[in-house]
Amino acid sequence: MRQFRHRRLTALVALATLLVTAAPPAAASASDRPTHRTGYHRVGYFTQWGIYGRAFPVKKLETSGAASRLTHLNYAFGNVTEDGRCYLDGGPGEGDPWADYQRPVPAEESVDGVADAPGQALNGNFGQLAKLKAKHPDLQVLISLGGWAWSTYFSNAARTDASRKAFVTSCIDLYLKGNLPAAGGSGGPGAAAGVFDGIDLDWEWPNWAGEPGNVVRPEDRENFTKLLAEFRRQLDAYGRTTRTHHPLTAFLPANPAAMDAGFEGRKIFRYLDFATVQGYDFHGGWEAVANQQSALRVPAGSPDNPDFSVEVAINGWIDRGAPRDKLVLGIPYYGRGWTGITGGGNGLFQPATAPAPATFEAGYEDYKQLKNLAGNGFTVHRDLRAGHAWLFDGTTFWTYDDPAVVLQKMLYIRRTGLAGAMIWSLDGDDDNATLTKTISLGLTTF
């Protein structure tokens, strides 16, 4: 029976790969959209900085066909000041308002083919998101606050009733009402009104160490719940003026210890439309052993006990009271890699000397680059039971999600009764949106 299931999965994977890769990249149109939608959320993160080295403007979401297959687009990221406010600033490490709303986007990068004029109230990524929404009116765009680098002062913002009220007010004013700082002719009151529909909180992590320098307090756990309650209260009040529902979501960790330290399990879901769960970074080049970074289940022979996996993360949240229909599984569009592998075999669980060389960051490479390694000196290895794949050339090892793994995870989402899939991040996909189309296929077919 197990062999039959594996053969059936292999056949489905082959079909999925054929369907999502057969057509060349083309502008999205009515005929390019899925024939029907389901209740599954399909959430993609768009990175502010992706327009630079990765050459991934908002337009690529349209030309690749990705936009028509998403329900939510999270813009990464919005920053939080030391005194607990949402803000946009051009200071070192503090933000990039030029990319956000000031940069005149040329015609060849524009969603509608029309170039921005310098000094318009709304240019840059925000202006392109407005154009994308005009083409896809059902697509909801959320500002994602924090992330790994900008969670430094979340604890300050959430600390008291007064700080929570002021923080939430500032976020709604800046992003949902669109009252951007005026600079070089861009911005001003209401300049970005209507671009953002809701708020995504990426506090990494309450009462748990994240990036060095983050403010962490034991009361973060309870204050996170209170912060969600304040967001929900003010978003609903604002929604009564706009006559719409403004979604509130959050990104949650895969580590059970971080779950317990920073989150009040069942309570937080009273206020969230849904939550996305970290389904990646289980292992990486910071360790001295080549391992999986996003396996569906803990692989046999894993050197770590306990270990991380998608199943461990999802079951951890369910055990803590999370409703299945509010959990969205995170899918990585990148791989983690090691080099200097010794020990032979297929490389898995073997010692390594360093993170693998890569385009932007050692040990981290986009799927669109990794897919070209298969057959070019690298062999693809799979563990269908554990649900993960890796590339190995005898020296260098990359763990990543290809269409086969992604499809297997979509079947897991359906079977487990989860709410959908989340993508980190859209700029890691190829120009044909192969992985995004696989997610759509897996959640609307079979």
Tens digits of residue pLDDT in 141-174: 999 999 999 999 999 999 999 999 999 999 999 9
Amino acid at 298: V
90-146 confidence digits (pLDDT tens):
777 788 999 999 999 999 999 999 999 999 999 999 999 999 999 999 999 999 999
Long-range pairs for 12-19 at CB < 8 Å and ≥24 separation? 12/407, 12/411, 12/446, 13/403, 13/404, 13/407, 13/408, 16/403, 16/404, 16/407, 16/438, 16/441, 16/442, 17/403, 17/404, 17/438, 19/437, 19/441
Please state the rounded mean pLDDT for residues 5-22. Answer: 47
Domains parsed from the chain with CATH numbers: 33-333+401-444 (3.20.20.80)
pLDDT of residue 12: 52
Mutual orientation of helices 403-416 and 310-319 as an angle, nearest 10°? 20
Q: Is the peptide bond before 253 cis (omega within 30 degrees of 0)?
A: no
Token readout for 15 is 């079909």
30 pLDDT higher than 80: no
Q: pLDDT grade, residue 21 (50/70/90)?
A: very low
Among 204, 88, 94, which Cα is nearest to 146's?
Answer: 204
Shortest CA distance to 17 belongs to which of 402, 305, 283, 403? 403
Residue 387 pLDDT > 60, yes or no?
yes
**Residue of 62, 204, 230, 365 with catalytic role:** 204
Rounded mean pLDDT of the chain?
A: 92
Q: How many CA atoms lie within 13 A of 341 on its CB side?
A: 23
- Report how far apart, in Å, the C-alpha atoms of 149 and of each of 167, 199, 425 are: 18, 18, 16
Residues 331-347, mean pLDDT to the nearest whole number: 97
User: Virtual CA dihedral for 343, 347, 351, 354, nearest 10 degrees?
Assistant: 130
Quick one: pLDDT at residue 11?
54
Q: What is the pLDDT of residues 194-249, one digit of tens each?
A: 999 999 999 999 999 999 999 999 999 999 999 999 999 999 999 999 999 999 99
Read off the DSSP letter of residue 96. -
What is the reported pLDDT for 4? Answer: 40
Q: What is the pLDDT of residue 14?
A: 54
CB atoms within 10 A of CB 117: 9
The DSSP code for 12 is H
pLDDT at 446 over 70: no
- CA–CA separation, 371 vs 380, rounded Å? 10
Residues 6+ apart with CB under 8 A from 231: 168, 171, 199, 201, 248, 271
pLDDT for 184 equals 86
CA distances from 189 to 96, 166, 173, 319, 382 (A): 19, 19, 9, 45, 53
Does the N-terminal peptide bond of residue 317 adopt cis geometry, omega within 30 degrees of 0?
Answer: no
Q: 282: buried, middle or exposed (CB in 10 Å: 19+, 13-18, 0-12)? A: buried
Per-residue CA distances from 132 to 50, 219, 356, 432 (Å): 17, 40, 36, 18
Rg (alpha carbons) of the chain, rounded to whole number: 21
107: number of Cβ within 10 Å: 10
> What distance in Å separates the CA atoms of residue 265 and residue 124, rounded to the nearest whole number?
38
- The structure tokens listed for 299 are 């692989």
CA distance 34 to 444: 8
Helix axes 161-171, 220-242, angle to 10 degrees: 40
**What are the helix (H) ranges across 270-402?**
310-319, 367-370
The helix or strand, by DSSP H or E, that contains position 260, with its residue range, turns out to be helix 256-262
Could you write out the three-class secondary structure of 112-177?
CCCCCCCCCCCCHHHHHHHHHHHHCCCCEEEEEEEECCCCCCHHHHCCCHHHHHHHHHHHHHHHHC
pLDDT value at residue 33? 39
15: left (phi over 0), alpha (psi -120 to 50) or beta: alpha
If you average pLDDT over residues 318-324, what whole number do you get? 98
The answer to whether residue 19 scores a pLDDT higher than 80 is no
Task: Output the CA–CA distances (angstroms, integers) from residue 160 to 54, 60, 145, 226, 263, in the order listed.
Answer: 40, 42, 19, 9, 17
DSSP letter, residue 289: B
311 is catalytic: no
